[in-house]
């Protein structure tokens, strides 16, 4: 059994080996056959490709020939085009050159003609020059002859007149100078008169219009205040035991109380109007309350003082709004309100300042200048009077310092400085404030003067006028608004009278203080008297 299986196994192995050998041989044969077939196919394809390449080469050569032919044709066309363009440009240039040659030829002809004309003119000028030289020589000879004759005539004149040439010239120049001065004085007088007439007319129109539009009350302020009492028994209560109430009130306010036989009134007297107003209001409150003793007096006075400070500020604001101004420093507004209780020659300074502001603004509007600046300068021009009893210096200096302290405009400061003529006005608004201040202070009823001051000013006015040489008499008339000067006719002629009036006016301006303006009227009268016998 084992052997049989072994034999079977051996047969199977041989069979497998035989099959494998056959498979290998078949594979080799298939490979060889495939290779032969592939080679043949490749050979056939190669031949076909060569034909296609030859065909393509032939087509490419034909196409290259066609492109070459087109390129040659295009090049010929381009060459022909360029040649035609070159010939056209050359022809245009040739025509232009011909025209230029013609113009140059024409210019040469013109220049040749001009040269010929210049040569001709030069010849004429040379001839004229020779003629002028000849005439100059002739004129020089004649001038020499005239000079000799002139010298001989001068010598004869000097011999006849007994004067030398220089002396005669001096006398002639002096006579001409005197005559010229006389003519100039006459012309100046006429021109000044015309200018004054026109200026006076215009100024009067402007001032009268401003005054008509601004109307204020006459002066009524005084240095005392009167407080009415309900009965005379109130006087004893105001005086108090051993006078302690009246002393407390006077010490608290700085105002003197005058209690006399006048029925049912108490008079408050004091220079400071603010303190006088505090005393008046406090006394009225104490009378109304009925409780009058030192402690109550001090309390009431202090309360009234605070209330019055508020009223002063409101008064300043009201004045500012009345004039139509804004932007004034609050401290200046307070100082402005204090002017309500300040008087000058009986005129309320706040009302005066408001009036000046209105007048200056109206005149500024008529003249076409800065109205707000004129109003501001007019309203603040007397601001120094609010503290002039507390600070050293004139109210002008104090006002300028206050305006500078609170950063006012330089033109407003100039209005304050110049309103009394301390400095020259630097702007037209300062001149208007000066004029408005004079108008407000000089109008009838605006201010009060004592008779002594009034008479003294009139005497000074007459004394200044009579201090000049040639003045015979002088009279102050029109309440000091005019001075009439009578001159000696044998010492002052008509022309000198004009200069005398100017000199008197300048001296009055420099030595006197006065409101408004003063007219200097110089009168020269010549009288000839003869008696028939």
Please give the full DSSP string across 149-197, using - where no structure is assigned: HHHHHHHHHHHHHS--HHHHHHHHHHHHHHHHHHHHHHHHHHHHHHHHH
* Cβ-based neighbour number of residue 434 at 10 Å: 21
What does the block give as tokens for 359? 């007048």
Question: What are the angstrom distances between the C-alpha of 518 and each of 96, 418, 473, 521?
Answer: 93, 19, 17, 10
Give residue 504's pLDDT.
92
Q: Could you tell me how many residues make up the chain?
A: 533
- For residues 130 and 125, give the distance between their C-alpha atoms in angstroms, rounded to a whole number: 9
pLDDT along the chain (533 residues), means of 10: 46 64 77 75 72 81 83 86 88 90 88 86 87 87 84 76 70 74 76 75 67 51 72 84 85 80 80 79 87 88 88 88 88 88 76 89 88 90 83 86 89 88 86 86 55 70 89 79 86 85 90 82 80 76
Taking a C-beta distance cutoff of 8 angstroms, is the pair 245, 393 a contact? no
Sheet holding 471-477, edge to edge: 471-477, 482-487, 519-524
Short-list 287, 273, 357, 296, CA closest to 321: 357
Q: What is the DSSP letter of 397?
A: H
CA-wise closest residue to 311 among 288, 336, 286, 289: 336
Angle at 346 between CA 341 and CA 348, to 5 degrees: 40
Q: With 0-12 CB in 10 A as exposed, 13-18 as middle and 19+ as buried, what is 366?
A: middle
CB of 474 closer than 8 Å to CB of 465: yes
Distance CA 202, CA 364 (A): 13
Residue 264 phi/psi, 5-degree rounding, is 60, 35
Q: How far is the C-alpha of 249 from the C-alpha of 282, rounded, in Å? A: 9
Contact between residue 245 and residue 296 where contact means Cβ atoms under 8 Å apart: no
The three-point CA angle 15-17-22 to 5° equals: 95
C-alpha torsion 252→257→259→260, nearest 10: 160
The predicted structure's pLDDT at residue 442: 65
Instruction: Write the DSSP assignment of 433-463 as a string of letters.
Output: HHHHHHHHHHSTTS----HHHHHHHHHHHHH
pLDDT at residue number 221? 44
For every residue of 247-313, DSSP letters joined together read HHHHHHH--EEE--SSTTEEEEE-S-HHHHHHHHHHHHHHHHH---SHHHHHHHHHHHHHHHHHHHH
CB 395 within 8 A of CB 384: yes
Which distant-in-sequence residues (6+ apart) come within 8 Å of 249 by Cβ? 238, 255, 257, 279, 282, 283, 297, 301
Helix H or strand E segment including 200: helix 165-213
Element (H, E) at 533: none
344: enclosing H helix or E strand: strand 343-344
Using CA atoms, how far apart are residues 428 and 14, in angstroms rounded to an integer? 151
Integer-rounded Cα Rg, in Å, for the chain is 62
- Is 378 within 8 Å of 399 (Cβ atoms)? no
């Amino acid at each position: 059994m084992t052997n049989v299986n072994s034999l079977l196994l051996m047969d199977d192995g041989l069979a497998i080996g035989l099959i494998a050998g056959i498979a290998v041989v078949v594979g080799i044969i298939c490979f060889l056959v495939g290779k032969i077939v592939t080679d043949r196919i490749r050979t056939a394809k190669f031949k076909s490709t060569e034909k296609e390449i030859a065909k393509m080469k032939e087509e490419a050569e034909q196409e290259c020939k066609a492109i070459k032919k087109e390129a040659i044709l295009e090049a010929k066309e381009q060459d022909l085009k360029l040649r035609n363009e070159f010939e056209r440009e050359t022809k245009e240039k040739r025509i232009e050159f011909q025209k230029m040659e013609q113009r140059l030829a024409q210019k040469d002809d013109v220049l040749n003609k001009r040269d010929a004309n210049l040569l001709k003119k030069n010849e004429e000028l040379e001839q004229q020059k020779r003629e002028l030289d000849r005439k100059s020589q002739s004129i020089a000879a004649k001038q020499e002859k005239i000079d000799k004759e002139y010298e001989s005539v001068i010598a004869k004149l000097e011999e006849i007149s007994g004067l030398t040439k220089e002396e005669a010239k001096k006398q002639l120049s002096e006579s001409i100078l005197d005559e010229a001065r006389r003519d100039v004085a006459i012309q100046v007088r006429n021109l000044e008169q015309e200018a004054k007439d026109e200026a006076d007319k215009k100024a009067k129109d402007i001032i009268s219009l401003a005054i008509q539009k601004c109307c204020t009350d006459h002066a009524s302020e005084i240095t005392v205040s009167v407080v009415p009492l309900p009965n005379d028994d109130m006087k004893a209560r105001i005086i108090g035991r051993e006078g302690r109430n009246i002393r407390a009130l006077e010490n608290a306010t700085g105002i003197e109380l005058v209690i006399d036989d006048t029925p049912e009134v108490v008079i408050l007297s004091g220079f400071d109007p603010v303190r006088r107003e505090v005393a008046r209001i406090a006394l009225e409150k104490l009378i109304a309350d009925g409780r009058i003793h030192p402690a109550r007096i001090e309390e009431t006075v202090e309360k009234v003082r605070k209330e019055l400070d508020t009223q002063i500020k409101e008064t300043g604001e009201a004045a500012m709004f009345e004039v139509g101004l804004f932007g004034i420093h609050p401290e200046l507004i307070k100082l402005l309100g204090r002017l309500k209780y300040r008087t000058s020659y009986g005129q309320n300074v706040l009302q005066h300042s408001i009036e000046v502001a209105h007048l200056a603004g109206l005149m500024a509007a008529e003249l076409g200048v800065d109205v707000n600046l004129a109003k501001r300068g007019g309203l603040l021009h007397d601001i120094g009077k609010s503290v002039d009893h507390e600070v050293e210096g004139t109210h002008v200096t104090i006002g300028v310092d206050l305006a500078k302290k609170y950063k006012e405009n330089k033109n407003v400061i100039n209005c304050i400085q110049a309103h009394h003529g301390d400095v020259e006005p630097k702007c037209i608004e300062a001149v208007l404030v000066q004029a408005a201040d004079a108008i407000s202070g000089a109008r009838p009823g605006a201010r009060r003067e004592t008779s002594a001051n009034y008479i003294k000013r009139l005497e000074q006015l007459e004394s200044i006028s009579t201090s000049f040489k040639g003045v015979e008499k002088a009279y102050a008339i029109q309440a000091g608004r005019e001075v009439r000067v009578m001159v000696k006719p044998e010492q002052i002629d008509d022309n000198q009278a004009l200069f005398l009036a100017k000199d008197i006016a300048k001296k009055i301006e420099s030595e006197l203080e006065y409101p408004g303006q003063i007219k200097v009227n110089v009168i020269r009268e010549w009288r000839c008297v003869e008696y028939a016998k």
